[in-house]
């Protein structure tokens, strides 16, 4: 009879811990939503991609996009970034793609990043660069 009582107490305790953890997650997401973030879950639902876009103003003439990746299981933000004029989406269950438009092209190829990907499982960040057009190369040649 005593074992039944112990088992019931353990089960009740486990339920309370799970409810507390769920409540913490709910509070975190609600706080971010109240700050203007919109969420897109990955396929499995274990990560949430939070996106907040501040529209262009006279003082800041471009859209400012804030990105937060939230790990549901760990109840924490695992990645944050802020870019201008960015478009963000899930490529698959593990990878997000952040594409931004560079309004001013650089002569240095390493500055002309077209987009980057971020793997939520490994934390690997990979830049993908724009290819330089032949027209751009021709314009750099000296005219004789």
Render pLDDT for 40-77 as a digit per residue (tens, 0 to 9). Answer: 999 999 999 999 998 888 887 888 899 999 999 988 99
CATH 2.40.128 fits 36-139, yes or no: yes
Q: What is the pLDDT of residues 86-142, one digit of tens each?
A: 899 999 999 999 997 765 666 666 667 789 999 999 999 998 887 655 444 444 433
Query: Residue 50: which residues within 8 A CB-CB, separation 6 or more?
Result: 32, 37, 38, 39, 66, 67, 68, 69, 70
Strands 95-100 and 38-41, how do they pair? unpaired
How many angstroms separate the CA atoms of 51 and 113, rounded? 20
What's this model's pTM, rounded to 2 decimal places?
A: 0.65
Tokens coding 22: 């769920």
C-beta separation of 62 from 49 below 8 A: no
């Amino acid at each position: 009879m005593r074992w039944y009582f112990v088992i019931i107490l353990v089960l009740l305790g486990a339920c309370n811990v799970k409810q507390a953890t769920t409540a913490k997650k709910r509070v975190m997401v609600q706080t971010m939503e109240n700050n203007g973030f919109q969420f897109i879950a990955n396929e499995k639902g274990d990560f949430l991609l939070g996106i907040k876009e501040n529209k262009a103003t006279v003082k800041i003439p471009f859209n400012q996009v804030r990105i937060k990746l939230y790990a549901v299981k760990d109840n924490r933000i695992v990645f944050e970034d802020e870019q201008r004029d960015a478009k963000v989406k899930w490529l698959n269950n593990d990878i997000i793609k952040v594409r931004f438009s560079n309004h001013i092209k650089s002569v240095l190829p390493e500055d002309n990043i077209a987009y980057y990907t971020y793997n939520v499982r490994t934390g690997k960040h990979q830049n993908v660069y724009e290819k330089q057009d032949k027209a751009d190369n021709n314009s750099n040649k000296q005219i004789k």
